[in-house]
Amino acid sequence: MEHKAIYKLCKGLGCCEACCLRYIGIKNPNAYENSINFVTKYNDENEPNSIEIKNNNESTTDNEKNTTMSSTKSETNKSNENNDNSIESTENVDETTIEVNNEVESNGRTSPPSKKRKVNICVSCLGVLQEDNWQEGFQMVKELLDKKGYECTTFACALSAPIATLLREKIITLNIVDEFPQYDAKVLTPLKEAWKWSFGVKLSAYINKTLDSGAVSPLLVTVNMDYTDDLQELEILKLVSPQLFEERRKQRRRFVTEFTRRSVEQALEKATLSSLKAAGAQLVAVRARGVCGYIKLSRNLPQSPWILDGKRVLPSSVQEIIFAPLAKCYKWEEADAERRLKLIAAGREDVDVRCLGDGRPFAVEITDPTRQLTDEELKEACKEISNSGQVIVKRIVPITREDLIQLKNGEETKSKTYEALCIKLSHSKYDTDHTSPVRVTPEDIDRINSYTNTDTDVRIAITQKTPIRVLHRRPLLTRNREILELTAELVPERPQLFVVRARTAAGTYVKEWVHGELRRSAPALRDVLAARADLLALDVAAVHLAWPPS
């Protein structure tokens, strides 16, 4: 395969250097640390591989500028002429201008005018892999870590990228296959891997912590990249795979969110270049880059005060941390706050379970408030809550009583995505050598990733009796529950461990589903493995419920 030709095609479509390497199939982490230098081997001898940065006071004639612009457009047009199946030229891609503020020197004089760099946002990764877009994320992570004061020398990082990147990757790979029929799309390096090898490495130096795996480091930084046109771009998939989304529409109770990673992957599985073009799919210009958000909760914090036999079990709770600054705004004593403030959340997580991603949707109902809190007071309340080091609330906005209907209904209709660190405790019936130490095999992972017991979009239909641990407060019932999506992967250098990511219907007891709880939950994950298994750590990665109402 001619890597140079693939590189030129991807650049012509509007990909950044790192994404060009991904489509070529480069798996070398060092390549992504400095992709601009690495791709020089794929450029023509006299072809520039980076955008020149000039001081505003450096002289550049209009003729020079015009020549540069003409040259760039000419190369783009030439690439598109050679690739008639390209869905849309990137000649008109918007540019984001990054400015460095002027600084005042010690003698009182202003430093020279700031440098500017114009960067085309990548049509594939939406800027996720472009170093010019990282500084804000670096600063946010450092400020959060400094504020919380984690005593930890290592960290792990995880990426939640816009779902639209899946559609864009499909369009680009189909264009490559159309131009080079022998191209194997499976060589594509996953976005999250390239991101860890680039962003993660640079972040490590910025925060002075060693980058490690999530199975080893107790500190996980999850970066959520939002893309404003995400859902709008995915709408065309309803034309590409109408039956899939019609079924999801009919089952709204089960599928609260139209576009999930799983549903988009299903819609794209058999998509062709012609079907995507017929539906109107385009590699349109990216109008804004992603923004970051972070949430990390304690594994030692209940949602509401934990009182047992009249004694407090744990010193605080999510509810109390959120209530404290709001009560302060009204100058209420603790007893008044407990009586006049009510926490309404879309479900709850166990004490030892973190809630990551965008967090768990909630509302605070205020009885007989004396006034409406100002935006500034609400921002200050968010800041004080986040300073607790255990709970982060990014935004509080006023809502109406009617809005609460959506939140309360969501308790029964939403789905949640969990990430679980699991351990295999015994040999399975599929293991050929029962004398060697227990380890998770690639066959075990394949078995989990392919298992299903239904002929619908639901991966696994299960029945669960009320767990023993909650029988003291809930009636003994047998409930039907669903695992909607399920993937598993090995944990490097930890042969007994594996990570499971599962999206479940509301009310599913994930802990019991993993180990089976004396066959009270069936089929359990241990049944799929045909071996004893248990759960070591559990996180709520996402609660799929749009909140607050727009």
From CA 349, how far away is CA 352, in angstroms rounded? Answer: 8
List Cβ<8 Å contacts ≥24 apart for 54-58: 54/115, 55/112, 55/113, 55/115, 56/112, 56/113, 56/114, 56/115, 56/116, 57/112, 57/113
Looking at residue 151, its pLDDT comes to: 75
Element containing residue 250 per DSSP (H, E):
helix 242-250
Taking the C-alpha atoms of residue 304 and residue 326, their distance in angstroms, rounded to an integer, is 16
Q: What is the pLDDT, as a whole number, of residue 216?
A: 79
Across 29-139, where does the E strand assignment appear? 95-99, 116-120
pTM: 0.50
Contact assessment for residue 355 and residue 370, using Cβ atoms and an 8 Å cutoff: no
CB 424 within 8 A of CB 498: yes
- Which residue ranges in the chain fall short of pLDDT 70? 1, 44-119, 252-256, 284-297, 411, 549-550
Pair 189, 22: CB distance under 8 Å: yes
Q: What confidence score (pLDDT) does residue 214 get?
A: 76
Beta bridge partners, 505, equal 415
**pLDDT at residue number 325:** 94
- DSSP state, residue 199: I
How far is Cα 486 from Cα 413, in angstroms, rounded to an integer?
19
Sign (positive or negative) of CA dihedral 375, 377, 380, 382 = negative
Give the chain's domains with CATH numbers. Answer: 3-52+65-100+115-279 (no CATH), 307-411 (3.30.70.2510), 414-544 (3.30.70.3190)
Measure the CA–CA gap between 297 and 391, rounded to whole angstroms. Answer: 5
Exposure string (b/e) for 386-412, b if CB count within 10 Å is 16 or more?
Answer: bebebbbbeebeebeeeeeebbeebbe
Which residue, 437, 438, 422, 443, is CA-closest to 502? Answer: 422
Cα separation values, 375 from 325, 345, 387, 396, 397, Å: 14, 22, 18, 9, 8
Pick the closest to residue 179 from 1, 44, 49 (CA basis).
Answer: 1
Closest by Cα among 509, 507, 503, 497 to 536: 497
Which position has the token pair 């309803």? 238
Strand ranges across the sheet with 521-522: 354-355, 533-544, 415-424, 497-505, 478-490, 460-465, 521-522
